[in-house]
């Protein structure tokens, strides 16, 4: 049963990674930019959630505001940092993104302190649920449910609504889409709103999961999300989702079996490098 437990825990982490990674792959697919600042959006969501929850006592409000504030930050980053630099090679906006990430992380450290903030009341953390002999706490369950609901919702949106189809068209062939009347700017805003909002929710959930929020929490998840989007084939949402789950599980087993050689964070990247050497286009990327 240990085997199963590792797999389940791995999938839970995979869902968390997926919520982060989807935002990244959406940005890459549209703009060819590695949106490293996404880590800051994630952490901001967590901070907003914990502060709102602690001040107002309402976790729900915390989540709502986390989503909203993260979405706004994401769009602002696009508008003021990326949009003016689209004519430059992607290296340039990527460096700006790294700068933004550093500024955000340091900003959090200066404002909230290096040790972070804990949730005053966190009912979900304590209560657990048993599923096929594996003990999961409510936050982990919420994470899985949230990711499924949100991603399926996005999938439906992308295939069924006008805006969604317009978005998909823009990603595949921007010029063609524009000639059909799709507004590329609106598509980009939509992209960042959804991706960043998702990251904000993920941040809030991870904060709940660990029971506290600290300034550097965005970094590690973000690095792994970057590895994931490469594994999944940059720009492919489906690939990203699958790669997220795979990474979660690989990390879960890897931490146990490679515990003496590498630490947890290295395992994901090691896996990425090994895969890339065998399949340079990623696990699911097109050749």
Binding stretches for other proteins (CB under 8 A): 28, 32, 34, 81, 84-85, 88, 90-96, 98-103, 105-107, 110, 219, 223, 226-227, 229-230, 234, 259-267, 269-270, 272-273, 276-277, 280, 282
CB 187 within 8 A of CB 170: yes
Looking at the DSSP assignment, which residues form a beta bridge with residue 134?
131
Q: In angstroms, give the least distance from the CB of 203 to other proteins.
A: 19
Rounded distance, CA 153 to CA 15, Å?
15
90 versus 155: smaller Cβ distance to other proteins: 90
Rounded distance between C-alpha atoms, residue 207 and residue 220, angstroms: 14
Closer to other proteins by CB, 95 or 149: give it. Answer: 95
Q: How far apart are CA 262 and CA 128, in angstroms?
A: 31
Strand-pair partners of 63: none
- Give the residue with the Cβ less far from other proteins, 57 or 84: 84
160: its two tokens: 């069924």
Instruction: Give min distance, CB of 122 to other proteins, in A.
Output: 30
Nearer to other proteins, 143 or 228 (CB): 228
Our CB check for other proteins shows the closer of 98 and 118 to be 98
- Min CB(198)–other proteins separation in Å: 20
CB of 125 vs other proteins, minimal distance in Å: 28
Report the nearest approach of other proteins to the CB of residue 11 (Å).
23
Instruction: Say which DSSP state 133 is in.
Output: T
Neighbouring residues of 182: CB distance < 8 A, sequence distance ≥ 6? 166, 169, 170
* Contact call for residues 167 and 194 (beta carbons, < 8 A): no
């Amino acid at each position: 049963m240990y085997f199963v437990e590792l797999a389940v825990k791995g999938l839970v982490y995979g869902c968390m990674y997926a919520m982060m990674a989807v935002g990244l792959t959406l940005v890459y697919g549209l703009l060819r930019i590695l949106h490293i600042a996404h880590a800051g959006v994630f952490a901001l969501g967590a901070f907003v959630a914990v502060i709102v929850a602690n001040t107002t006592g309402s976790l729900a409000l915390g989540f709502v505001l986390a989503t909203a504030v993260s979405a706004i930050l994401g769009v602002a980053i696009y508008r003021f940092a990326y949009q003016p630099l689209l004519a430059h090679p992607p290296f340039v906006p990527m460096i700006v993104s790294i700068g933004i990430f550093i500024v955000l992380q340091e900003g959090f450290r200066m404002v909230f302190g290096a040790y972070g903030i804990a949730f005053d009341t966190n009912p979900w953390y304590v209560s657990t649920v048993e599923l096929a002999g594996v003990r999961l706490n409510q936050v982990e369950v919420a994470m899985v449910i949230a990711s499924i609901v949100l991603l399926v919702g996005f999938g439906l949106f992308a295939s069924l609504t006008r805006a969604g189809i317009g978005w998909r068209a823009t990603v595949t062939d921007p010029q063609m889409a524009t000639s059909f009347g799709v507004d590329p700017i609106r598509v980009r805003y939509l992209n960042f709103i959804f991706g960043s909002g998702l990251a904000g929710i993920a941040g809030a959930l991870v904060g709940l999961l660990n029971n506290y929020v600290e300034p550097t929490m965005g970094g590690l998840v973000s690095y792994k999300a970057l590895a994931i989007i490469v594994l999944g084939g940059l720009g492919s949402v489906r690939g990203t989702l699958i790669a997220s789950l795979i990474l979660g599980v690989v990390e879960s087993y890897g931490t146990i079996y490679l515990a003496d050689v590498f630490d947890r964070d290295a395992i994901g990247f090691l896996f990425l490098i090994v895969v890339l050497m065998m399949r340079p286009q990623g696990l699911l990327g097109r050749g």
